[in-house]
Amino acid sequence: MRIIGIDPGLTRCGMGVIDAGGARRVDFVDVTVARSTADMAPHKRLEIIADEIDRMITLHRPDVVAVERMFAEDNVRSIISTAQVAGVAMLAASRAGLLLALHSPSEVKAAVTGDGRAEKKAVQLMVQRILRLNSPPKPADAADALALAITHAWRGGAMSPTAQSAQHGGAALPDANREGLTAAQRAWADAERGTRLSGVVAQSGAKRFR
């Protein structure tokens, strides 16, 4: 299975492609970062990124597009621009007739490092180790994109990504106590469960104060 991970960002959008095989085997294929500058009109910046996503999809013909799932942050301006790029990536997947998977940042960090709160440096080093690269992928956006692809390769099961999203509202949650899970998988389950619980609490608070 070939997977392209997309780490959405308006200034830098990372795109990493891997091949996933049996026994958790993943192999590096390609990585790039699409860039735009703040002095450009927003729609032109999105066009540059959209063109590069389309180019990578056409070049590598992936089976799945894995995109970072957005959550609210303190920096509203940043999350809005990031969400715009995520929408561009999802639209590209739809137009290409590809499956789409969404993974939260904590899920990705836990999947590749075993720690849902890992720093970007730790993610870079683990991606280098997992993919047997000569050096850590740079910038961090490139490593994050490859980490997204790795996360999807390792959490994929009999269900398709779209079926998982439909069943779990965007992310499949394994049982953290299930026998056979690795320490990293258990850490991912705990991190993702905590993220979803925070979302439920936030939604409950929003309803309470309407």
Residue whose C-alpha is closest to residue 150's, from 175, 177, 185, 176: 185
Give the residue numbers spanning the domain of 130.
Answer: 2-208
What integer pLDDT is reported at residue 97 of this predicted model? 98
Per residue of the chain (210 residues), give pLDDT as tens: 999 999 999 999 999 999 999 888 999 999 999 999 999 999 999 999 999 999 999 999 999 999 999 876 556 777 889 999 999 999 999 999 999 999 999 999 999 999 999 999 999 999 999 999 999 999 999 999 999 999 999 986 423 444 344 333 444 434 434 444 455 555 555 555 554 444 433 333 333 333
What total number of domains does the chain contain?
1
pLDDT tens-place string over residues 51-92? 999 999 999 999 999 999 987 655 677 788 999 999 999 999
What integer pLDDT is reported at residue 151 of this predicted model? 97
In sequence order, what are the residues at sequence separation of 6 or more whose Cβ sits closer than 8 angstroms to the Cβ of residue 75?
none
Give me the CATH number covering residue 121: 3.30.420.10
For residue 68, indicate whether it is catalytic: yes
Annotated binding residue at 68?
yes
Angstrom distances, CA of residue 200 to CA of 25, 90, 197? 35, 24, 5
Annotated binding residue at 52?
no
For residue 141, indicate whether it is catalytic: yes
Annotated binding residue at 7?
yes
**Of 52, 107, 141, 192, which one is the catalytic site residue?**
141
For residue 7, indicate whether it is catalytic: yes
Rounded Cα distance, 120 and 141, in Å: 9
**Of 68, 107, 144, 192, which one is the catalytic site residue?**
68
